[in-house]
Amino acid sequence: MTERHPRHLTTPRRGRTPADPSAEKAQVQSLTRGLAILEALSAAEGGLTLTDVAQRTQLAPSTAHRLLATLERGGYVRQTGPLGLWYIGLSAFTVGSSFLFNRDFVAESHPYMRRLMEQSGETANLAILDGTEAVFIDQVQCRETMRTIVRLGSRVPLHASGVGKAIFAALPDEQIDAILKVKGLPRITATTITSPETMWSAIRVIRQRGWSFDDEEHLHGTRCVASPIFDEHGDVLAALSLAGPNSRLPDERIRQLGPLVAHTADEVTRRMGGRSLHPR
């Protein structure tokens, strides 16, 4: 085996200029700021003006404009309309979409979601955990005129959504406790759970029966049932849900759909070689 020289004794290759620490720092800073701009644009419901971008990223307008121009040349953002609003570009969409294709469980779960929609007549959703929120990454819309539509990439709180509560209940107790201490239980609607004692009680029920219930806790007029999907280590990987208007989802219908969603989530878990640590 050839012994390697310690890094501090290694002779630099000929023709290579030693890195300038200040230049590298500036490049990293520009990259970080550029990504912040992309995140701000992706979170906006519509386009943003230059002033909006600068305010949301806490950048000087001149700096924001310089970075936007650079991103525009790469196709990551685009400017359009009489107001000159900035939007996410095709290149950013392409990069983001690659996440969906590279996560096998998205493709594997989609047929189950479509079957679930056909069986229930309601919209099926798939969401994953990201930090202290759930993020929607796939959806199969129902055929009803009145239906619940979520924007892929949109986020919902763990304590006040069907997919969020399903994922929340599947986490270890110590992780749940840490999230509660950091995030709390902010009220979103009149039915949002805001008491830790009530939330822990709901978590125990969800674990016992295998599915969660969102009773207009995140969005007025919308009810949802959801169940977690687990990986091979028994860790929660995602959550599958059915959502629709409360007029079509009375209590009796919720009690019928809950086990159906849980059964489908179990099928996806087994399909992915996963296992649930919580008995159903």
Class of domain 103-271: alpha beta
Mean pLDDT of 78-94: 88
Residue 126 to residue 238: CA distance in whole angstroms:
7
Whether the predicted pLDDT of 4 surpasses 50 = no
Query: Which listed CATH number (3.30.910.10, 1.10.10.10, 3.30.565.10, 2.60.40.1760) goes with 22-93?
Result: 1.10.10.10
pLDDT category of residue 145 using cuts at 50, 70 and 90: confident
Give tens-digit pLDDT for 11-43. Answer: 444 445 555 677 777 788 889 999 999 989 988
The model carries a pTM of 0.66
Give tens-digit pLDDT for 98-120. Answer: 665 555 678 889 999 999 999 99
Tracing tokens 């399909």 back to the chain, one arrives at 271
pLDDT for 6: 44
Residue 237 to residue 225: CA distance in whole angstroms:
17
Between 95 and 2, name the one with better pLDDT. Answer: 95
pLDDT for 168: 96
Mean pLDDT of the chain: 86
Domain locations along the chain: 22-93, 103-271
Whether the predicted pLDDT of 280 surpasses 70 = no
Residue type present at position 231: D
What are the Cα distances from residue 195, in Å, to 84, 191, 205?
45, 11, 15
pLDDT category of residue 8 using cuts at 50, 70 and 90: very low
Whether the predicted pLDDT of 55 surpasses 80 = yes
Residue 139 to residue 59: CA distance in whole angstroms:
35
Give tens-digit pLDDT for 58-78. Answer: 999 999 999 999 999 999 999
Residue 94 to residue 20: CA distance in whole angstroms:
33
Residue 241 to residue 140: CA distance in whole angstroms:
10
